[in-house]
A = this chain, B = another copy of it.
Amino acid sequence: MSAAPLATARRATITDVAREAGTGKTSISRYLNGEMSVLSPELRARIEAAIQRLDYQPNQMARGLKRGRNRLIGMLLADLTNPYTVEVLQGVEAACHALGLMPLICHAANEVEMERRYLQLLTTYRVEGVIVNALGVREETLRPVGAGGIPVVLVDRSVDGLVTDMVGLDNRGAAELGTRHLLEKGFDDIWFVVQPFEQVSSRNLREAAFREVLGNNGNGNGKAHARGRTLVLNLGDPEAVQASLAELDRAIEAAAGVAGGVDRQARRTVAPGRRIALFAANAPVALCLALHLKARYGADWQTRAALLSIDDPEWAELTGVTTIRQPTYEIGYRAVEFLHERIEGVQTTARDCLLPGELIVRASTSG
């Protein structure tokens, strides 16, 4: 059974193969690159055999060095903990596979310093392009890459002052979709909950669209008196989170008690119109909210507040939370396609690809 060549210790090189096949390196190289037309069947066979015997595998590094391109692309991820990221990644991998690229996946784990380090590292490994799901806001972080002439495609968020291809959710559309849905369902007190958004374009757009819809709806169109507020939830800072959640609790309890009443016990079933709606800007926020509400109000927390979230994490179906699903797989796929075109030299001006979200209505907003 040990047909496998006994551990050669050192891996065979092209020179070894040439010797083994009794020929020159050039022919081996030709064989490797599929230039069969210039190889006599006889020589070809000898080479084939030698490669088998030596279990030879060409060294990509050396190839890359010589050719000037190594088929490597960098994929910088802000946070693998976010299901969004993993899903995008699937699309990226599929596209890479299809295009013969090898993604170097780097996980910044929400650390700006990591992000910088990895970008630098990727540059150093001479990747041919980078897909960036940035957390760092600053264009200068990307400078080393862009300046080196390495194509960059942004995912999910754009970066101020940096003009590149970018692909992500149609944030405006998604936020409108969600807000309208809540209005239609009769909610008249809606909280948009989002991580600090000044610096992150996608959050920014979502928040803006939310406010806009609520501002406009006064125009004679039914739900004239719906009230919308934005609550910032800084997940990186436990104390800040506590404060924000406390604010939320006051609102929830006030709403339940109708006019700031006390009889929480008696009012088991809250009057439909007085249930607050929470619009989470993404899954991590939604999870934080859900965990808190559950801890505070028990298993039936959803009778206190309706939750709607952008992103569609696996627990949404389980808990019956309405969501807006992002076309994550496609986002990843398209990003690679864009990047690939750039690598091949396409020179058009920066493109934006905004894909629509899909509303998935569940029990949380159907009551």
Contacts and interface: CB of A to CB of B under 8 A. Distances in A.
Counting every copy of the chain, the complex holds: 2
A124 B93 contact: no
Interface in A95-138: 97, 102, 104-105, 107, 109, 114, 120-121, 123-126
Contacts of A318: 287, 290-291, 294, 315, 318-319
Interface stretch (A59-67, A172-180, A220-228, A335-343): A59-67
A259 B291 CA distance: 38
A147 B4 contact: yes
Nearest to A120: B57
A8 interface: yes
Contact of A8 (B5, B109, B114, B149): B149
B9 A149 contact: yes
A86 B86 CA distance: 9
Interface residues of A, number: 55
A58 B124 contact: yes
A314 interface: yes
A20 interface: no
A102 B57 CA distance: 22
B109 A55 contact: no
Contacts of A315: 313-315, 318-319
Contacts of A234: none
A148 B319 contact: no
A125 B294 contact: no
Given A89-B80, A290-B318, A147 B61 contact: no
Contacts of A314: 287, 313, 315
A143 to B, nearest CB: 6
A103 to B, nearest CB: 8
Interface in A308-363: 313-315, 317-320, 363
A105 B102 contact: no
A325 B179 CA distance: 38
A6 B278 CA distance: 48
Nearest to A299: B320
B70 A81 contact: no
Given A291-B318, A315-B318, A319-B315, A90 B61 contact: no
Nearest to A94: B109
A319 B317 contact: no
B59 A61 contact: no
17 contacts: A4-B143, A4-B147, A7-B149, A8-B149, A57-B124, A57-B148, A59-B126, A60-B125, A60-B126, A61-B65, A62-B65, A86-B86, A90-B109, A104-B105, A105-B105, A315-B315, A315-B318
**A-B pairs with the 9 shortest C-beta distances?**
A315-B315, A105-B105, A61-B61, A60-B124, A60-B125, A80-B86, A61-B65, A57-B124, A4-B147
Given A4-B143, A5-B147, A105-B105, 19 more contacts: A11-B148, A55-B147, A55-B148, A57-B120, A58-B124, A60-B124, A60-B125, A61-B64, A80-B86, A80-B89, A89-B107, A90-B107, A90-B109, A93-B107, A287-B314, A291-B318, A299-B320, A314-B315, A318-B319
